[in-house]
Amino acid sequence: MAVVLSSDEVSKLLQQTIAARALRPGDRIGTEAELALELGVTRPAVREAVRMLAGANLVRAVRGPGGGVFVTHSPDRGLAQTVSDAIAGMLETEVTSVAELTEVRLALEVPLAGLAASHATPEAVEALRAAVEDAERAPDDVGVQTETDIRFHRTIAHSAGNRVGEALAAWCSEVLQPRLRELVAPAIVEAVAREQHREIIAAIEARRPLVAERAMRTHLRYLSDLLETVNT
């Protein structure tokens, strides 16, 4: 006989099942009927739990032959996607602005730079250098400058070694940076931005968290000042 549990409780059971099986994005968890039987709960409770987890970008339900419930993202990536989607929606509907988001970015990326200085591997430092070098080889290519800038900041967030912090900051590269780059393009001096990136790398490689934070703050404020300039 099925146990009556709330959808919240069933969603936790589903997440535990995903973790216990070590399922990865794209893996099939089962049909609603199979999961209800396996977990010993009602099918409607499974359906509602799946709906909740789908809203958190963790699973997706596929109907028809070969369908079922599939893993879409790991918990940290699901959090990153949820936050990015929410902020993108706020920006689209003008609930927030690029200027406001740049202020919040300071609160996220500055401490991540400090953590990266404590935890970054030699491979991460090389990846940061590669991003700067790739940008330097194509100084007049806007697409390359944007891609390498995003790659640089993503690498720092990942190198911080804090998956929650990385997930919460993901919107900076996914939502803010492309738009910010577009806005400040008439005013930015790419050579200055690259030199600021090099200063951040040097601090991270030297494992000097406070210096890395200061260098990142200087860089982000440079971009904020450019945004203010083009908006006046």
| pTM of this structure | 0.84
Instruction: For residues 75 and 47, give the distance between their C-alpha atoms in angstroms, rounded to a whole number.
Output: 19
Q: Of the candidates 200, 222, 176, 223, which has an alpha carbon nearest to the alpha carbon of residue 115? A: 200
3-state secondary structure of 93: coil
C-alpha 4: how far from chain center: 36
Residue 67 and residue 83 share a domain: no
Which of 44, 71, 98 is the C-terminal boundary of a domain? 71
Give pLDDT tens digits for 4-19. 788 889 999 999 999 8
Residue 122 and residue 54 share a domain: no
Q: Tally the domains of the chain.
A: 2
Instruction: Write the CATH number for 104.
Output: 1.20.120.530
Residue 1 lies in a domain: no
Domain range for 24 is 7-71
Give pLDDT tens digits for 168-215. 999 999 999 999 999 999 999 999 999 999 999 999 999 999 999 999
